[in-house]
Amino acid sequence: MRKVITEILFYLANDYSIIHNAHIVDKEEALSLCKNLRRLGANLLSRRLSLISNSIFSKADDIYYRLDFYRIEICEALDIEDPIQDGMSKQDLNDAIKEIHNQKIA
């Protein structure tokens, strides 16, 4: 279990830029990351890792907030420190997602 957690931390920190820039990085690199996240998600039965893997190519207006939100939830569920320390809080991300949705409705 610790090995899987360590691997998750590695991918979340090391491949942060791929997660947020899947549309512009080498497609094979992004697909490889997706495959690794799915594998790790299956190892932990973690729905959030699958959500990151399935969402990184999304063109939704709130995708960057959602990706960070999922990362924070993964870290909380595993009781590990978030490898990205200078990001928004979970509440701020949730508020930003709601704001984007409210703007679409209006």
Span 15-51, pLDDT tens digits: 999 999 999 999 999 999 999 998 888 887 668 788 8
Q: What is the mean pLDDT of residues 47-64?
A: 91
Q: Distance between CA 42 and CA 55 in Å, rounded? A: 16
Long-range CB contacts (< 8 A, 24+ apart) of 25-30?
30/56, 30/57
pLDDT, position 45: 61
Instruction: Name the more confident of 90 and 1.
Output: 90
pLDDT, position 46: 61
Query: Predicted confidence band at 88 (pLDDT cuts at 50, 70, 90)?
Result: very high
